[in-house]
């Protein structure tokens, strides 16, 4: 069981590295193509990213969408006007927690037709959507689909939910970088910055604790908080993003 957990974690780490490379400018490729690779790596059928338009804007066409869905489905989606009553989007706009598409079951003929049409076009038998709110206060929705059985899908979600949530935040950040939008500055506390600088110098949490005369648990808490503020999956990614975006000065690392 432990070996499987390590393997699952490695898959998500590889995906996080790809997204981090886009965020810090090392990879100028198409985000859509990167998402296709990530979907395969983490065992999903498709990944879709939707940045909602501002609340005062009611034009669905002003939303930002990047998806690995078949082109035929994306064309059919707009030709049939699904953007006006897509149940996933309708629920996701105000959702705070991840939700399985199965919970959106309805007797509404339009909803039934929508999911039947999606399945016919190979979107996937199962779907999970994760709401994201970024540093600008903008709302996004990242969806993962699968053709697993319901039992396999339940196990997949149970094992991978933390990784999928972290990946969703990284996808949102990568979408900003892909669109060449400047990220708002991340505000670290003095201790968080100090610990992250020492981590960038290659020091472990235990070594940092000894260097700055602080308890190990406090150092780890500061590093974890900094990582979460940067929306990174692990400390290595946090250091890379913090350095590339100027959150920690490069001249302090050497």
- State the Cα–Cα distance between residues 26 and 21, nearest whole angstrom: 5
Mean pLDDT of the chain, nearest integer: 82
Per-residue pLDDT, 152:
93
C-alpha distance from residue 187 to each of 13, 192, 242 (Å): 25, 9, 11
Percent of the chain at pLDDT exceeding 90:
40
Q: Of residues 114 and 13, which shows the higher confidence score?
A: 114
Indicate the pLDDT class of residue 63, thresholds 50, 70 and 90. low
Which of 11-25, 37-51, 164-178, 187-201 tops mean pLDDT? 37-51
The domain in which residue 138 lies consists of 7-178
Please, which pLDDT band fits residue 23 given cuts at 50, 70 and 90? low
Whether residues 77 and 126 share a domain: the answer is yes
Give the rounded distance of the alpha carbon of 165 from its chain centre. Answer: 6
What's the confidence (pLDDT) of residue 237?
Answer: 76
pLDDT for residue 21? 74
Residue 99 lies in a domain: yes
**Does the pLDDT of residue 106 top 90, yes or no?**
no
What is the pLDDT at residue 57? Answer: 46
User: Considering just the CA atoms, what is the radius of gyration of the chain in Å?
Assistant: 20
* H and E: helices and strands count for the chain: 10, 5
Q: Which residues pair with 146 in a beta bridge?
A: 126
Q: Which of 119, 143, 178 is the last residue of a domain?
A: 178
Provide the CATH number for the domain around residue 242: 1.10.10.10
Position 242 scores a pLDDT of 80
**39 and 162, same domain (yes or no):** yes
Query: Is 183 a domain residue?
Result: no
Q: Residue 32 falls within a domain, yes or no?
A: yes
Do 104 and 22 lie in one domain? The reply is: yes
Is 60 exceeded by the pLDDT of residue 180? no
Tell whether 77 is covered by a domain: yes
Identify the pLDDT of residue 182.
Answer: 52
Q: Answer yes or no: do 153 and 206 share one domain.
A: no
The answer to whether 68 and 46 have CB atoms below 8 angstroms apart is: yes
Q: Which of 158, 178, 198 is the last residue of a domain?
A: 178
Residue with the larger pLDDT of the pair 176 and 45: 45
250 pLDDT above the threshold of 90? no
What secondary structure letter does DSSP report for 153? Answer: H
Assess whether pLDDT exceeds 70 at residue 26: no
125, 148, 178 - which closes a domain: 178
Per-residue confidence (pLDDT) for residue 6, from 0 to 100: 35
pLDDT, mean of residues 24-33:
68
Same domain, residue pair 174 and 197 = no
Q: Which DSSP string corresponds to 193-227?
A: HHHHHHHHTT--HHHHHHHTT--HHHHHHHHHHHH
Q: Is residue 39 part of a domain?
A: yes
The proportion of the chain whose per-residue pLDDT surpasses 70, expressed as a percent, equals 83
**In the predicted structure, residue 96 carries a pLDDT above the cut 90:** yes
pLDDT of residue 247: 80
Q: Considering Cα of 173, then 134, then 235, then 245, what sign does the dihedral take?
A: positive
Domain count, the chain: 2
Predicted pLDDT at 253: 62
pLDDT score of 17: 77
CB atoms within 10 A of CB 152: 13
Q: What is the mean pLDDT of residues 83-94?
A: 90
Higher pLDDT, 165 or 30: 165
pLDDT digits (tens, 9 = 90+) for 120-158: 999 999 999 999 988 778 899 999 999 999 999 999 999
pLDDT at 7: 38
């Amino acid at each position: 069981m432990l070996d499987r957990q390590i393997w699952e974690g490695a898959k998500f780490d590889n995906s996080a590295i790809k997204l981090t490379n886009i965020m810090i400018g090392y990879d100028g490729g198409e985000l859509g193509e990167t998402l296709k690779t990530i979907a395969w790596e983490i065992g999903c059928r498709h990944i879709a990213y939707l940045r909602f338009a501002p609340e005062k804007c009611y034009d669905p066409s002003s939303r930002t969408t990047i998806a690995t869905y078949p082109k035929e489905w994306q064309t059919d989606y707009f030709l049939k006007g699904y953007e006006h009553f897509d149940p996933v989007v309708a629920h996701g706009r105000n959702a705070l927690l991840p939700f399985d598409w199965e919970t959106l079951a309805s007797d509404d003929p339009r909803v039934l037709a929508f999911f039947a049409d999606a399945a016919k076009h190979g979107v996937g038998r199962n779907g999970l959507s994760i709401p994201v709110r970024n540093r600008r206060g903008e709302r996004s929705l990242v969806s993962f689909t699968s053709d697993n059985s319901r039992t396999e899908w339940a196990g997949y979600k149970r094992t991978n939910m933390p990784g999928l949530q972290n990946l969703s935040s990284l996808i949102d950040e990568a979408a900003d970088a892909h669109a060449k939008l400047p990220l708002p500055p991340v505000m670290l506390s003095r201790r968080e910055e100090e610990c992250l600088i020492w981590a960038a110098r290659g020091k472990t949490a235990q070594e940092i604790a000894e260097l700055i005369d602080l308890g190990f648990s406090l150092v780890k808490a500061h590093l974890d908080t900094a990582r979460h503020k940067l929306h990174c999956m692990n400390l290595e990614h946090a250091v890379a993003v913090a350095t590339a975006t100027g959150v920690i000065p490069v001249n302090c690392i050497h």
